[in-house]
Amino acid sequence: MARMTNGKQCKCGRSIITRTGDPKARVAVLGDYPFFDELRSGVAFRGSIGDILRSELGKVGVQFEQLYGLHFWNHIKTDECDVALHAQQTLEAIKDCKLILMLGNDPCQHFLGYSAPEISGTIQKSKFLPKSIIVAGPIPASFLRGPIGELKLAIEKFTEQRRKLK
């Protein structure tokens, strides 16, 4: 099992990774599940996927460190995991965020009712997060597989909505 920096465990017994950034931030990035580099470091959005996300956000003047970064699944997803528990933990963590960049299938399906490819690059509302404007984005693993046009589109929409918050 990978080394984790916070020593906490999920109720399913797996170690959980640390969220990154300011938990009181009004703006969040929510991914679906951590990848190898994140599991190894114990911190969300580290490694190649995090580097791509930071780079693309930086191009539009957004510093990732000003955001709250977390995952719907805060460890490797398994059949023993309680989806409702993870959804509730995630909702509790982001309930006061005004703007959320939601990346990947699991958060989009659970909170918006659609898969990420169906709604990537669109602005959404969720009955579970009534205070939040949500910009749906692609599955983070797709950042590594080829052109990142969907991510750029989602970040453009995200940046437009962020400007409106100020």
Whether 9 is covered by a domain: the verdict is no
Tokens coding 35: 């990848």
Q: Is position 15 within any domain?
A: no
* Residues contacting residue 158 through CB under 8 Å, at least 6 positions apart: 62, 99, 101, 135, 137
Q: Is residue 30 part of a domain?
A: yes
Q: pLDDT: is 58 or 77 the higher one?
A: 58
As a whole number of Å, the end-to-end CA separation of the chain is 42
Give the number of domains in the chain. Answer: 1
**With bands split at pLDDT 50, 70 and 90, how would you rate the model's confidence at 65?**
confident
| pLDDT in the model for residue 2 | 32
**Residue 98 has what pLDDT?**
95
How high is the pLDDT of residue 128? Answer: 92
Q: What residues contact residue 100 under an 8 Å CB cut-off, 6+ apart?
A: 27, 28, 29, 30, 94, 129, 132, 133, 134, 135
Task: Confirm whether 74 is domain-assigned.
Answer: yes
* Domain enclosing residue 149, as ranges: 20-165
Q: What percent of the chain has pLDDT over 90?
A: 27
Reported as a single tens digit per residue, the pLDDT across 71-93 is 887 666 666 677 777 788 888 88
Q: Say if 135 falls within a structural domain.
A: yes
Q: What is the mean pLDDT of residues 28-47?
A: 83
Distance from chain centroid for Cα 17: 13
- Whole-structure pTM value: 0.83
* CATH code assigned at 92: 3.40.470.10
Residue 15 has pLDDT above 70, yes or no: no
Residue pLDDT, tens place only, 85-127: 778 888 888 999 999 999 988 889 989 998 888 888 899 999 9
